[in-house]
């Protein structure tokens, strides 16, 4: 099975100009809108190169006419890029485009974009603009339809990102249908999945954060039960949107039974040539508890090596807790030395790098952690991100009376600490754990499973540990190593192309 490189320059020159115009409209509105209003609207315009990359992820069949839905259409960049691509590749000659956009300021640009496309493509196309996509939630959830509109063959969307409180009518309606959606973007995806025609194509730009954690478990389950996830594009950079720092992914799904294989494209950012195309068994990486998205072949092998170990972090007796000290909620009368996340470096050495915040604080007993005469705890920075080539996600250090010179500390809440059900670890065990958490294997697992900037308990609970007590740590130097799955033709993961 061979795949072609995903190209960023699929559109012929004739449409490049149209798309560049739409892109400059997005720039205009981006600059004309205050940060507060952008946040309220969940408005972040997709860069042109990303819109084009998304449009080429689908593999459509030829048909005379294609119906395209564009919920949260903005200036129309996604539907215009998709229609241009379908027209270029002779997939369709005629289009019905349905856009939904609550920001009325954009409607004129939106209709102009589609009518330019229609006249340039010499296609007999029609389009409609409506305002709020979610007003159709009831009919979409009940019947999968919007009155007066055909079911789309394609939906392309970069849905608005906004928290959805569980008390809002949309949440309650979704709940009535057995779906919980903590954000407006996941609600849009649910409604889009209901609307798209059977075997139809759903293309979306989404934050990667839904791929892990308990909040989005129901959403992941919904996606897996209702769609076949066929292709995901990962970006190594978190700065793909102007003025937004967030890990985003592109998803291509079909409304049909889950395909056995999934393709993952990895690129630095939407403007660079993709580095890898990986074709993997979908069951290995997609399940409702998490979606594991490896960024390199090396990371896949290290992730699989870790999966083969049979003792999870909690099985080994470890627990992760968050430092209890919050600077803005301080009270008490016990003078205590405070440890911040910048006090230890990425290599686990104590540098006491925090110079601006108070080193000693009057605190109460609940915020203090007593250090034993022998042994201690492993501390971990809570915040890190998947940014760049091989980002370090786990940054541990050994916390003991010897390493920090006091008997009791207050850990600020950007510091996590690892204990054994409340008890400290022996020094041997603690240091072995620091070494393991710093290893390529543990880093690769965290890059693969964690789609947010925080290392939390569920993430650590999915890491397998090579030892469980001091005896095994002593023995571990002579223990047989778990082999890496070999590459090459015999590997289940051999069908990848490194570009
Ligand atoms: C993340 S932006 C994406 C815009 C455009 N699709 C793009 O990719 O550049 C989401 C858009 O959805 C719009 N929006 C927010 N809530 C909406 C709703 N309930 N119905 C329709 N559009 C909505 C926002 O105004 C914003 O323009």
pLDDT tens-digit readout, 336-381 = 999 999 999 999 999 999 999 999 999 999 999 999 999 999 999 9
How does pLDDT run across 301-315, given as a tens digit for each residue? 899 899 999 899 999
Cβ-proximal residues to 225 (8 Å cutoff; 6+ apart), any chain: none
What confidence score (pLDDT) does residue 290 get?
Answer: 87
Torsion of Cα atoms, 180 then 184 then 187 then 191, to 10°: 160
Give the mean pLDDT of the chain. Answer: 89
The finding on whether 52 has its CB within 6 A of some atom of ligand 1 is no
pLDDT of residue 50: 95
Percent of the chain's residues with pLDDT above 90: 69
Mean pLDDT throughout 36-63?
92
User: What average pLDDT does range 382-397 have in this prediction?
Assistant: 87
Q: Is the minimum distance from the CB of 277 to ligand 1 under 6 angstroms?
A: no
**8 A C-beta contact, residue 246 and residue 471:** no
Which pLDDT value is given to residue 470?
59
d(CA 262, CA 279): 6
Look at residue 469 in the predicted model and tell me its pLDDT: 61
Contact 194, 71 (CB under 8 A): no
CA of 231 to the centre of ligand 1 (A): 23
Write down the pLDDT at residue 60.
87
Least confident span in 10-14, 60-64, 264-268: 10-14
Task: Indicate if ligand 1 lies below 6 Å from the C-beta of 14.
Answer: no
CA-51 nearest atom, ligand 1: 8
Q: Which residue, chain included where needed, has tokens 């072609």?
A: 4
Is the confidence at residue 482, as pLDDT, over 80? no
Query: What CA–CA distance (Å, rounded) separates 213 from 427?
Result: 31
pLDDT at 178: 94
Q: Is the CB of 386 under 6 A from ligand 1?
A: no
**Residue 63 DSSP symbol:** -
Average pLDDT over residues 448-473: 84
Q: Residue 3 above 50 pLDDT? A: no
pLDDT band at 452 (very low <50, low <70, confident <90, very high): confident
Structure tokens at 243: 């003025």
Distance CA 55, CA 25 (A): 19
Q: What is residue 234's predicted lDDT score, i.e. its pLDDT?
A: 92
Q: Which atom of ligand 1 is nearest to the CA of 26?
A: 9
Q: Does the Cβ of 291 fall within 6 Å of ligand 1?
A: no
The reported pLDDT for the residue numbered 151 is 97
Q: Are 224 and 286 in contact (CB under 8 A)?
A: yes
Could you tell me the pLDDT band of residue 486, with boundaries at 50, 70 and 90? very low
Nearest to 285 by CA among 317, 316, 259, 318: 259
- Ligand 1 in contact with 188 (CB < 6 A)? no
* Between residues 340 and 289, the one the model is more confident about: 340
- The winner for highest mean pLDDT among 65-69, 193-197, 267-271, 390-394 is 193-197
User: Which atom, in ligand 1's list, is nearest to the CA of 70?
Assistant: 6
pLDDT computed for residue 391 by the predictor: 87
**Protein residue closest via CA to atom 23 of ligand 1:** 72
Is the pLDDT at 13 greater than 70? The verdict is no
Give the pLDDT band (50/70/90) at residue 489: very low
Q: What confidence score (pLDDT) does residue 275 get? A: 85
CB 250 within 8 A of CB 266: no
**Residue 476's pLDDT band (cuts 50, 70, 90):** low
Check residues 209 and 256 and name the one with the higher pLDDT: 256
Ligand 1 touching residue 129 (CB < 6 A): no
Q: How far is the CA of 143 from the centre of ligand 1 (A)?
A: 24
Choice among 102-111, 184-193, 322-331, 472-481 with the minimum mean pLDDT: 472-481
pLDDT value of residue 277:
85
Q: What is the pLDDT of residue 468?
A: 66
Instruction: Please name the residue ranges forming H helices in 121-202.
Output: 137-143, 169-176, 184-195
100 within ligand 1 shell (Cβ under 6 A): yes
Contacts of 301 (CB under 8 A, 6+ apart): 484, 485, 487, 493
- Per DSSP, the three-state class of 494 is coil
Give the pLDDT confidence of 71-85 residue by residue, as tens digits: 999 999 999 999 999
More confident of the two residues 238 and 253 = 253
Atom nearest to 157 CA in ligand 1: 6
- Ligand 1 centroid – CA 41 distance (Å): 7
More confidently predicted of 130 and 284:
130
Q: What is the arithmetic mean of pLDDT over 44-62? A: 92
- In the chain the domains, ranked by start, together with CATH numbers, are 13-293 (3.40.50.150), 319-472 (3.90.220)
Q: In terms of pLDDT, which residue wins out, 244 or 234?
A: 234
Residue 155 in contact with ligand 1 by CB distance below 6 A: no
pLDDT of residue 300: 86
Check residue 381 and give its pLDDT.
Answer: 95
CB distance 476 to 309 below 8 Å = no
Give the distance (Å) from ligand 1 centre to CA of residue 417. 40
Q: How far is the CA of 316 from the centre of ligand 1 (A)?
A: 46
Best probe residue, ligand 1, of 30, 71, 74 (max atoms within 8 Å of C-beta)? 74
Nearest to 349 by CA among 438, 460, 439: 438
Report how far ligand 1's centroid is from the alpha carbon of 71 (Å): 7
Q: Is the CB of 160 inside a 6 Å radius of any atom of ligand 1?
A: yes
């Amino acid at each position: 099975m061979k795949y072609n490189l995903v190209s960023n320059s699929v559109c012929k020159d004739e449409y490049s100009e149209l798309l560049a115009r739409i892109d400059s409209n997005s720039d205009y509105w981006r600059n004309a809108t205050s940060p507060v209003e952008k946040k309220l609207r969940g408005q972040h315009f997709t860069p042109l190169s990303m819109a084009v990359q998304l449009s080429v992820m689908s593999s459509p069949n030829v048909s005379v006419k294609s119906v395209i839905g564009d919920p949260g259409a903005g200036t129309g960049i996604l539907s215009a890029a998709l229609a241009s691509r379908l027209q270029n590749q002779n997939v369709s000659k005629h289009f019905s485009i349905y856009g939904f956009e609550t920001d009325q300021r954009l409607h004129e640009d939106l209709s102009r974009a589609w009518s330019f496309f229609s006249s340039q493509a010499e296609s007999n196309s029609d389009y409609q603009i409506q305002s709020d996509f979610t007003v159709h939630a009831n009919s979409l959830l009940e019947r999968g339809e919007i009155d007066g509109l055909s079911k789309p063959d394609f939906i392309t969307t970069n849905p608005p990102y906004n928290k959805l409180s569980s008390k809002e009518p949309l949440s309650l309606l979704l709940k009535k249908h057995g779906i919980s959606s903590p954000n407006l973007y996941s609600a849009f995806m649910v409604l889009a999945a209901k609307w798209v025609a059977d075997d139809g194509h759903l293309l979306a730009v989404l934050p990667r954060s839904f791929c892990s954690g308990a909040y989005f478990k129901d959403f992941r389950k919904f996606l897996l039960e209702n769609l076949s996830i066929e292709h995901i594009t990962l970006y190594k950079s978190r700065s793909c949107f102007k003025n937004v720092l967030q890990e985003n992914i592109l998803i291509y799904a079909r409304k049909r039974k889950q395909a056995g294989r999934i393709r993952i494209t990895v690129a630095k950012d939407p403007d660079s040539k993709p580095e890898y195309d990986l074709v993997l068994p979908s069951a290995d990486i997609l399940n409702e508890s998490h979606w594991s998205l490896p960024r390199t072949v090396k990371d896949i092998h290290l992730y699989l090596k870790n999966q083969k170990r049979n003792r999870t972090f909690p099985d080994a007796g470890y627990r992760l807790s968050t430092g209890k000290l919050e600077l803005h909620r301080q009270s008490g009368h016990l003078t205590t030395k405070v440890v911040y996340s910048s006090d230890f470096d990425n290599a686990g050495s104590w540098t006491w790098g925090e110079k601006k915040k108070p080193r000693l604080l009057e605190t109460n007993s609940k915020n203090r952690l007593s250090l034993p005469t022998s042994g201690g705890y492993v501390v971990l920075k809570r915040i890190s991100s998947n940014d760049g080539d091989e980002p370090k996600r786990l940054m541990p250090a050994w916390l003991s009376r010897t390493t920090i010179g006091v008997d009791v500390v207050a850990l600020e809440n950007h510091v996590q600490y690892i204990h054994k059900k409340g008890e400290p670890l022996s020094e041997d065990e603690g240091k072995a754990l620091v070494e393991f958490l710093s290893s390529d294997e543990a880093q690769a697992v965290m890059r693969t499973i964690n789609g947010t900037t925080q290392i939390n308990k569920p993430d650590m609970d999915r890491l397998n540990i090579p030892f469980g007590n001091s005896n095994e740590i002593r023995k571990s130097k002579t223990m047989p190593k778990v082999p890496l799955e070999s590459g090459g033709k015999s590997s289940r993961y051999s069908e990848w192309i490194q570009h």
